[in-house]
């Protein structure tokens, strides 16, 4: 363990000085501050710099300031190392803080870091606050819940949107010139598999303006570790909601588990709810009786069931039962549909399905039940194109996944193209029927993280959504599906500042969502150079993963 530890300071207010540990000085470049303070040598002990109370289930990160530590004796008195009990130490210092009469107001921590440098000479600390306001001036605000606001100033303070209007920026604010630029809410990808994609995918999402993802089946401990480190500002990545293990009738990989008979499945649902997953996901081999038991138990527990439709359950039954989101266009045609049409060409069977009026009848049920559809169209790119050989973004896919790519014959690829063309038409009918659609990419294995979300947006527009409707499918609609619309999904005062600054108008051409000038996530600004650095980091990680 390093013995020279660098103390970090976030000056939240006159009564709240929050400290952190920074092991890598290179990270300090993101802070845009100079903090001159004495480096500490404390024999494998952490300079007690504050307490971070992180709840992986809620992703709330609060910090209460303890005391400024600038000498080794005080640091040793804390008796706190990296693996000991920070909350116990925090309680002691909170008591001391209360005795000093210092304000006990919790501080919402924005994940920004400062660099502590050796002081030369005097012991005076020169600190520029990391929580000073950030202002995007003269920008066009494309909100997903209200009118477009032109030549606006968006002010961000303490990680949230403080104001939107024509007034000038507050004194001392960091300024981002938004002239000729367009700001949209941070994007969501509602179907990823992060453990499969590996940690190299995390910075790629952020560099592409994807500030929130829903993990649809991974190693829960790994995902919660990443969530905690992201929330604490120790790792750059999107906000993560997760399902934990996938419930299936047979376990086909390490991310799936077999919940058992109906009674056992109810117990699994209770256990998943207890450990704090955000959704429960089902796969197609889950037995019919266990599926309906799961849906019933989940309703009692107040948690949504999402995923595939089991093979012995019709899409209408799944919707009527209360499954919250149906994942993948193809899941509509697995199970009962494929059994009924087992001797037919799939593309032709789907064509007859939509031409007969069956599609409209199914989607009327979805609308009635408020069933959300996540078609994951971008997932088909790898099967219908030569992406694995020609897309330069493949360098952001983990090497272990690139090495696992299997080739398909030209005849197979043509079949996939015919089926995919029918799926596009099915999604077009779903949209025309009024079905709620969200963006997901099924990023896993050799599918490209981040960039594929922009492809999904373009494909939704191809299916008849307007550019604004496609943006809503990637912002406010998934925020509502996750029950987080009070904090996320739109550009409104009081919401968490997850924003993407674009060089061109996405309402004129949805492909302009690729033209990213800056990303703001939880109030942290990353300019184009920062995003390029993230992509460079991701490429390096991918080459090793």
Q: Are 159 and 497 in contact (CB under 8 A)?
A: yes
How many residues are present in the chain?
A: 545
Q: Which of 304, 306, 228, 273 is nearest to 56 (CA)?
A: 228
Block means of pLDDT (10 residues each) for the chain, length 545 residues?
A: 29 29 36 28 30 34 31 37 32 34 29 28 29 88 93 94 92 93 98 95 97 97 93 91 95 92 97 96 97 98 97 97 97 92 91 96 98 96 81 91 87 92 97 98 93 98 98 98 97 97 98 98 94 95 90
> Of the candidates 101, 1, 10, which has an alpha carbon nearest to the alpha carbon of residue 52?
10
> Would you tell me which CATH number, out of the four given (3.40.50.300, 3.40.50.2300, 3.20.20.140, 3.30.70.20), belongs to the domain 187-488?
3.20.20.140
For 443, list phi and psi in degrees, rounded to 5: -65, 120
Q: What is the pLDDT of residue 465?
A: 98
Instruction: Give the CA count within 13 Å in the CB-facing half-sphere of 391.
Output: 19
What local confidence, expressed as pLDDT, does residue 122 receive?
Answer: 26
Q: What is the pLDDT of residue 27?
A: 37
Domain map (residue ranges) of the chain: 4-117, 187-488
Beta pairing, strands 499-502 & 516-521: antiparallel
Helix (H, G, I), strand (E, B) or coil at 292: helix
Distance CA 243, CA 278 (A): 6
Rg (C-alpha) for the chain, rounded Å, is 25
With a threshold of 0.85, does the pTM exceed it?
no
Give the whole-angstrom CA distance, residue 478 versus residue 510.
18
Q: What whole-number distance in Å separates Cα of residue 194 and Cα of residue 200?
A: 9
pLDDT at 132: 67
Residue 514: how many other CB atoms lie within 10 Å: 18
User: Residue 415 has what pLDDT?
Assistant: 93
pLDDT at res. 172: 84
pLDDT of residue 71: 38
């Amino acid at each position: 363990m390093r013995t020279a530890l660098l103390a970090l300071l976030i000056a939240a207010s006159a009564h709240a000085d929050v400290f952190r540990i920074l092991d890598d000085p290179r990270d300090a470049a993101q802070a845009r501050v100079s903090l001159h303070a004495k480096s500490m040598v404390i024999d494998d002990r952490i300079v007690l710099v504050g307490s971070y109370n992180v709840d992986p289930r809620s992703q709330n990160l609060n910090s209460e300031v303890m005391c400024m530590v600038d000498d080794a004796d005080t640091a040793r008195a804390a008796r706190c190392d990296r693996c000991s009990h920070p909350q116990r130490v925090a309680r002691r210092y909170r008591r001391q803080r209360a005795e000093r009469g210092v304000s006990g107001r919790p501080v919402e921590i924005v994940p920004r870091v400062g660099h502590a440098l050796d002081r030369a000479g005097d012991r005076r600390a020169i600190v520029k606050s990391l929580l000073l306001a950030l202002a995007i001036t003269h920008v066009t605000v494309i909100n997903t819940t209200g009118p477009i606001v032109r030549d606006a100033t968006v002010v961000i303070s303490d990680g949230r949107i403080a104001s939107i209007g024509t007034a000038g920026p507050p004194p001392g604010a960091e300024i981002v010139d938004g002239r000729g630029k367009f700001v949209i809410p941070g994007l969501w990808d509602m179907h990823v598999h992060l453990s499969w994609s590996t940690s190299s995918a995390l910075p790629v999402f952020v560099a592409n303006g994807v500030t929130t993802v829903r993990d649809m089946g991974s190693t829960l401990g790994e995902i919660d570790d990443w969530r905690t480190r992201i929330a604490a500002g120790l790792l750059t990545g999107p906000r993560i909601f997760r399902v934990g293990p996938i419930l299936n009738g047979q376990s086909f990989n390490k991310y799936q588990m077999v919940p058992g008979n109906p009674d056992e499945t109810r117990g699994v649902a209770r256990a998943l709810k207890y450990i704090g997953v955000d959704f429960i996901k089902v796969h197609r081999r889950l037995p019919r009786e266990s599926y309906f038991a799961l849906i019933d138990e989940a309703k009692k527990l107040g948690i949504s069931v999402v995923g595939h439709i089991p093979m012995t359950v019709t899409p209408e039954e799944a919707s009527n039962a209360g499954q919250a989101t149906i994942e993948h266009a193809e899941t509509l045609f697995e199970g009962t549909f494929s059994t009924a049409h087992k001797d037919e060409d799939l593309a032709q069977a789907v064509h007859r399905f939509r031409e007969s009026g069956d599609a409209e009848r199914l989607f009327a049920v979805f609308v009635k039940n408020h069933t959300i559809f996540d078609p994951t169209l971008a997932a088909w790119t790898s099967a219908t194109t030569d992406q694995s050989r020609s897309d330069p973004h493949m360098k952001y896919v983990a090497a272990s996944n690139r090495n696992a790519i299997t080739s398909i014959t030209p005849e197979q690829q043509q079949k996939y193209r015919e089926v995919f063309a029918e799926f596009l038409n099915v999604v077009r009918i779903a949209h025309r029927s009024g079905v709620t659609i969200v963006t997901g990419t099924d990023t896993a294995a050799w599918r490209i993280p981040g960039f594929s979300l922009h492809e999904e947006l373009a494909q939704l527009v191809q299916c008849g959504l307007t550019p604004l409707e496609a943006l809503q499918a990637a912002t406010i609609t998934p925020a509502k599906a996750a029950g987080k619309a009070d904090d996320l999904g739109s550009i409104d005062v009081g919401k968490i500042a997850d924003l993407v600054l674009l060089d061109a108008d996405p309402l004129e051409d949805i492909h302009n969502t690729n033209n990213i000038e800056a990303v703001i996530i939880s109030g942290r600004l990353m300019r184009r150079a920062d995003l390029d650095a993230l992509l460079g980091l991701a490429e390096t990680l991918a080459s090793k993963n």
